[in-house]
Amino acid sequence: MSKSPFLQSVRTEIRTKQYSYRTEKTYLYWVRQFILFNDKKHPEVMGNHEIERFLNHLAVNRGVSPATQNQALCAIIFLYKNVLKREIENLQYKMSKTPRRMPTVLNAEEVASILGNMEAEYWLITALLYGCGLRISEALSLRIKDIDLKSRNLLVFNGKGRKDRYTLLPGNLRENIERQIAHSRAIHESDLAEGFGLTSVPASLHKKYGPVMKDFGWQYLFPSSTRCVHPIAGYVCRHHLHHSTYARQLRQAVQASGITKRVTAHTFRHAFATELLRSGSDIRTVQEILGHSDIRTTEIYTHIIGDRRAGTVSPFDRLPGS
């Protein structure tokens, strides 16, 4: 079914709207599952009844999470709205509410213990997650041009919600970053010597800039160990480290540290936000650094530290001698 003309038309529409490659894979997966579940009937002859049956099947028989249910629904709505040009109305199914849970937070000693069990680029990735409040996708997709060691700024390009933002860069990471840049440069120069050197970028950028993508500034700070074929544009390039590679290293480091909390790459972002608020940083500033669209997302960290005022100090406590 992966080569069916219909699925190709779905793929084309996704790429026309410049969705990420990860979203493309996810949407195609759920469209394919929807068609298979309904005995390979064409979506054109299906409607609310078949959609509701499929979504209920996911919830009842497959026991998927609310977030996964919503993901499948988004893919199907995209299919009908953008490919079949039909609006799905009066669907007897609503977006599932994902339970709001307090995120797991590590203290400084636990972060230090995990870092003590990591080496090389994996140590630096973790340090950037905790020191800059990055998402793992943002850390792995950092390019050389995004790093300003002099002003200690880090550009997060095209982050979640396709938004750019700047975040602070810890000064004591300078030497580690410089070593990683040198490592990336050595790999890039080897690629150039072998007739390659293009980095992976969205197909539209490659089409627009072409050979410029060989410039060192466009290379990833954490390049993959091997070259690959671009999944859309088809050229040979070098991508960044895969998130599963980092996840494996992190899991080993957490086990070696003896920490029993559930720790993922995102846990360090939670710890970053909590420490900023605990030390008195303004919640609006933290919201901007994290790239949250809604301040209510940032406010969850004030609950973690047990103070909705997020470290605000009374003027009385600032009086001389108080």
pLDDT (tens digit, 9 = 90+) per residue, 82-113? 999 988 888 776 655 555 666 778 888 888 89
pLDDT attached to residue 316? 42
Pairing of strands 228-229, 236-237: antiparallel
All structural domains of the chain: 5-83 (1.10.150.130), 103-312 (1.10.443.10)
**Cβ contact 142:221 at 8 Å:** yes
Query: What is the rounded CA–CA span in Å between residue 213 and residue 20?
Result: 19
How distant is the alpha carbon of residue 80 from its chain centre?
27
Given a cut of 70, is residue 76 above it in pLDDT?
yes
Task: Read off the pLDDT of each residue in 281-304 and give the average, rounded to a whole number.
Answer: 70
Model confidence band, residue 318 (pLDDT cutoffs 50, 70, 90): low
Cα–Cα distances in angstroms (integers) from residue 2 to residues 39, 44, 127, in the given order: 16, 18, 40
pLDDT attached to residue 322? 45
The residues assigned a catalytic role are 135, 160, 266, 269, 292, 301
pLDDT attached to residue 219? 93
HSE of 198, CA atoms in CB hemisphere, 13 A: 20
Given a cut of 80, is residue 28 above it in pLDDT?
yes
pLDDT attached to residue 301? 64
- Per-residue pLDDT of 222-247, as tens digits, reads 999 889 888 877 888 889 989 899 99
Please count the other Cβ atoms lying within 10 Å of the Cβ belonging to residue 164: 11
Model confidence band, residue 128 (pLDDT cutoffs 50, 70, 90): very high
Highest mean pLDDT: which of 14-18, 111-115, 211-215?
111-115
How distant is the alpha carbon of residue 278 from its chain centre?
25
pLDDT attached to residue 287? 75
Task: Name the β-bridge partners of 229.
Answer: 236
Average pLDDT, the chain: 82
Overall pTM > 0.75: no
pLDDT attached to residue 94? 61
**Measured between alpha carbons, how far apart are the two ends of the chain, in Å?**
73
pLDDT attached to residue 1? 47
